[in-house]
Amino acid sequence: MQSQKAQKLDFHREYPCPCRRRGQLIPITLTEAFGCDRCQQIFVVEENGYVLEQLSSTYPYKRAWRWNGSSWQVAHSRLGESYMPVALGIIFVLVIIWLPLALRLASGSSIIAWALVAVLLAILPALMVWLTYRR
């Protein structure tokens, strides 16, 4: 049985692609990087050879994996951890400060509309955090 501990990546070895199950990562000569023969993605080795990071401009955050000897394990980036305080701060401002202010200034039937807008704006950061941590 293989160990679950992260293993150092060997540049003289081929690995399965972490994005596509059928692709193989092949070392790129004279670099500390791998390229997939199927999806054409380039992966850079980081953190002293233990983390494989995808070079891609399509994601708002970097995708990274650790090799445990038999499969890739997702390595969580620190950028994703910083979303939680920002989202909670936005929710706090919207619900605790903006909602009572809007309700006090609103008249009659527009109170419900202002309350709905505040709740929807508070849900958006929560949705952002959920989508970020879902990967």
User: What residue ranges do the domains of the chain occupy?
Assistant: 15-78, 82-134
Q: Greatest CA separation found in the chain?
A: 72
Tell me the H-state helices in the chain: 78-81, 83-92, 99-105, 110-134
Calculate ∠ Cα 40-64-89, nearest 5°. 125
pTM of the model: 0.54
Tens digits of pLDDT across the chain (135 residues): 445 788 888 888 889 999 866 889 999 988 889 999 888 889 998 878 889 888 876 666 678 889 988 888 888 655 555 666 777 777 777 777 776 776 677 666 677 777 777 778 778 877 877 777 665
